[in-house]
Amino acid sequence: MSDSISLWQAEHVNFATLLDLLEDQLDLFHQGKNPDYEMMLDIMFYMTHYPDVLHHPREDLAFARILELDVNSRPIVSDLVEQHVRLKDFGDALVRSLENIIDGSITSRDRVEVPGRAYIAEFRSHMLKEEKAILPLAAKLMSEADWAAIRAAIPDIDDPLFVTKGEERYASLRQQIAREARASKARRMTGA
């Protein structure tokens, strides 16, 4: 399997972790409890500044190459490209609402929950479609030269969150992810 496909899958695992954390916070919000708005904003800042700037544009290039190599992939490729647009719209709307809350503005629940839930559902659907349909096609059709061309068009940047020494902005988010991982491991070990 190509290193590029392995990276694609690893990033999906990271994104799923963040979507789970965001969903937990939205559940608290829905219950009338106090979610961690700063953490929610950090998650969304990451999601709108890493996947939207690097991961999705690379996907778009891979989609275009797959479409060149297999015209029958047009329906799934078109759907995934459209999802990128919706993800950006939902993500931007949620970021604006969270920024308003943090800035002290009164914001209706719908302005947080609707784009938040839509973003999570759309992102999960998007990753599932890629895992089931596009990644197998990419593995079958794309050459290392194709992947090299994509890396040349969109150079690597270090993931600001999921690296050993990530950006300071994400320090508390990294700690929360580590706590969640420990709690999940403990639950698995005790069978709870």
Q: Which two tokens stand for residue 83?
A: 């999802």
Q: Is residue 31 part of a domain?
A: yes
Q: What's the confidence (pLDDT) of residue 59? A: 94
With 70 as the cut, is the pLDDT of residue 187 above it?
no
Q: Return the minimum-mean-pLDDT range out of 30-34, 68-72, 73-77, 91-95.
A: 30-34
Please check whether residue 147 is in contact with residue 65, taking contact to mean a CB–CB distance below 8 angstroms: no
Per-residue pLDDT tens over the stretch 105-153: 988 888 899 999 999 999 999 999 999 999 999 999 999 999 999 999 9
Q: Is residue 101 part of a domain?
A: yes
Which single residue is written with the structure tokens 């965001």?
22
State which residues form the domain around 19: 3-155
Q: Is residue 36 part of a domain?
A: yes
Domain total for the chain?
1
> What's the pTM value of the predicted model, to 2 decimals?
0.89
Question: What CATH number does residue 81 fall under?
Answer: 1.20.120.520
Q: Is residue 167 part of a domain?
A: no
Cβ neighbourhood burial of 185 (10 Å; 0-12, 13-18, 19+): exposed
| Of the candidates 75, 53, 192, 91, the residue with the CA atom closest to the CA atom of residue 134 | 75
Q: What's the confidence (pLDDT) of residue 174? A: 84
